[in-house]
Chain A
Amino acid sequence: MTKSNSSLKTKNKSYNNSLGNRIGLGLLYLVLGAVALFQIYPLVWLFFFSLKTNAEVFGTSPFALPKDPQWGNYLKAWVDGGVGAYFFNSVWVTVTAVILTVLFASFVTFAITRMDWKLNKLVLGLFMVGLMVPIHSALIPLFSFFLDLNLIDHPLSIILTYTAYNLPITIMILLGFYYTLPREVEEAAVMDGCSVHRIFFQITLPMTMPVISTTAIINMIYNWNEFVFVNTFISSDKYKTLTVGIQNFIGQYLTDWGAIGATLMISIIPVLIAFFILSNRIVDGIAAGSVKG
Chain B
Amino acid sequence: MKQVMSNKLIIAMYTLPALILILALVYVPIVMTGYYGLMEWDGIGAKTFIGLENYIGLMQDAKFWDSAYHSFLLAAFSTLSLVGYLVISLVLANKLKGSELLRKIYLIPMLLSSVAIAQLWLKIYDPNNGMLNSLLEIFGVENTPTWLADPKLVLISIFIAIIWQYAGFYIIIYSAALKGIPESLVEAARIDGANPIQIAYKVKLPLIAGVIKVTIVLAIVGSLKYFDLIYVMTGGGPNGASEVLASYMYKEAFASYNFGYGSAVGFALLVICLIITWLVRKLTASNEEIQY
Q: From B91, B96, B129, B214, give the contact of A257 (CB < 8 A).
A: B129
Determine if A161 is an interface residue (Cβ-Cβ < 8 Å): yes
Determine if A173 is an interface residue (Cβ-Cβ < 8 Å): no
Q: From A104, A126, A134, A244, give the contact of B273 (CB < 8 A).
A: A134
CB contacts under 8 Å to A, within B101-147, are 102-116, 119-121, 123-124, 128-131, 134-135
Q: Is the CB of B176 within 8 A of A287?
A: yes
Nearest chain A CB to B48's CB is how many angstroms away?
15
Determine if B173 is an interface residue (Cβ-Cβ < 8 Å): yes
Nearest chain B CB to A245's CB is how many angstroms away?
10
Given the interface pairs A39-B168, A279-B104, A291-B173, the reply to whether A227 lies near B22 with Cβ below 8 Å is no
Given the interface pairs A39-B167, A144-B43, the reply to whether A105 lies near B111 with Cβ below 8 Å is no
* Alpha-carbon distance between A279 and B100 when the two chains are bound, in angstroms: 11
Q: From A35, A134, A142, A247, give the contact of B246 (CB < 8 A).
A: A134
Q: Tell me which residues across on chain A come within 8 A of B46, comparing CB atoms.
A: none
CB contacts under 8 Å to B, within A272-293, are 272, 274-275, 279, 282-283, 286-287, 290-291, 293
Q: Tell me which residues across on chain B come within 8 A of A8, comparing CB atoms.
A: 193
Interface string of A74-110 (1 = CB under 8 A from B): 0000000000000000000000000000001101101
Q: From B18, B108, B177, B191, give the contact of A108 (CB < 8 A).
A: B18
Task: Please classify the interface of chain B as helix (H, G, I), strand (E, B), loop, or mixed, using the class held by over half of its residues.
Answer: helix
By beta carbon, the residue of chain B nearest A287 is B176
Q: Is the CB of B21 within 8 A of A104?
A: yes
Determine if B73 is an interface residue (Cβ-Cβ < 8 Å): no
Q: From A133, A135, A232, A291, give the contact of B176 (CB < 8 A).
A: A291
Q: Tell me which residues across on chain A come within 8 A of B59, comparing CB atoms.
A: none
Q: Tell me which residues across on chain A come within 8 A of B217, comparing CB atoms.
A: 293
Nearest chain B CB to A167's CB is how many angstroms away?
5
| A112, A243, A244 interface centre (most CB from chain B within 10 Å) | A243
Determine if A224 is an interface residue (Cβ-Cβ < 8 Å): yes
Q: Tell me which residues across on chain B come within 8 A of A127, comparing CB atoms.
A: 18, 22
Nearest chain B CB to A140's CB is how many angstroms away?
5
Q: Is the CB of A39 within 8 A of B108?
A: yes
Interface magnitude class on chain A? 35 or more
* Alpha-carbon distance between A252 and B103 when the two chains are bound, in angstroms: 37
Determine if A49 is an interface residue (Cβ-Cβ < 8 Å): yes
Q: From B11, B91, B108, B175, give the contact of A28 (CB < 8 A).
A: B91
Determine if A181 is an interface residue (Cβ-Cβ < 8 Å): no
Q: Tell me which residues across on chain B come within 8 A of A171, comparing CB atoms.
A: 18
Q: Tell me which residues across on chain A come within 8 A of B274, comparing CB atoms.
A: 132
Interface string of B205-220 (1 = CB under 8 A from A): 0000001001101100
Determine if A191 is an interface residue (Cβ-Cβ < 8 Å): yes
* Alpha-carbon distance between A116 and B112 when the two chains are bound, in angstroms: 41
Q: Is the CB of B111 within 8 A of A282?
A: yes
Q: Is the CB of B259 within 8 A of A140?
A: yes
Determine if A30 is an interface residue (Cβ-Cβ < 8 Å): no
Q: From A39, A108, A141, give the contact of B19 (CB < 8 A).
A: A108
Q: From B22, B44, B227, B269, give the contact of A167 (CB < 8 A).
A: B22
- Give the size of the chain B interface in residues (CB under 8 angstroms): 101
Q: Tell me which residues across on chain A come within 8 A of B4, comparing CB atoms.
A: 190, 195-196
Interface string of B230-250 (1 = CB under 8 A from A): 001000000000000110011
Determine if B5 is an interface residue (Cβ-Cβ < 8 Å): yes
| B113, B123, B253, B259 interface centre (most CB from chain A within 10 Å) | B113
Given the interface pairs A40-B108, A42-B124, A132-B277, the reply to whether A246 lies near B29 with Cβ below 8 Å is no
* Alpha-carbon distance between A162 and B250 when the two chains are bound, in angstroms: 19
Q: Tell me which residues across on chain A come within 8 A of B8, comparing CB atoms.
A: 117
Q: Is the CB of B266 within 8 A of A40?
A: no
Q: Is the CB of B232 within 8 A of A247?
A: yes
Determine if B7 is an interface residue (Cβ-Cβ < 8 Å): yes
Q: Is the CB of B2 within 8 A of A111?
A: no
By beta carbon, the residue of chain A nearest B6 is A116
Q: From A46, A221, A244, give the contact of B120 (CB < 8 A).
A: A46
Known: A138-B33, A196-B4. 16 other contacts (CB 8 A): A42-B109, A58-B128, A115-B14, A123-B15, A127-B18, A134-B270, A137-B269, A139-B250, A139-B253, A140-B262, A143-B253, A161-B25, A225-B114, A227-B228, A260-B123, A291-B177
- Which residues on B are within 8 Å of A, measured CB to CB? 1-2, 4-8, 10-11, 13-15, 17-19, 21-30, 32-33, 36, 43-44, 88, 91-92, 96, 102-116, 119-121, 123-124, 128-131, 134-135, 164, 167-169, 172-173, 175-177, 180, 190-193, 211, 214-215, 217-218, 221, 224-225, 227-228, 232, 245-246, 249-250, 253-254, 259, 262-263, 266-267, 269-270, 273-274, 277
**Can you list 29 A-B contacts with CB-CB less than 8 angstroms, sorted by A residue number?**
A9-B191, A32-B102, A36-B105, A57-B129, A62-B134, A108-B14, A111-B11, A126-B19, A133-B26, A134-B270, A134-B273, A136-B225, A136-B246, A136-B250, A137-B269, A138-B266, A139-B250, A140-B33, A140-B266, A145-B24, A145-B25, A161-B25, A167-B21, A227-B115, A227-B232, A264-B116, A272-B108, A286-B169, A293-B218
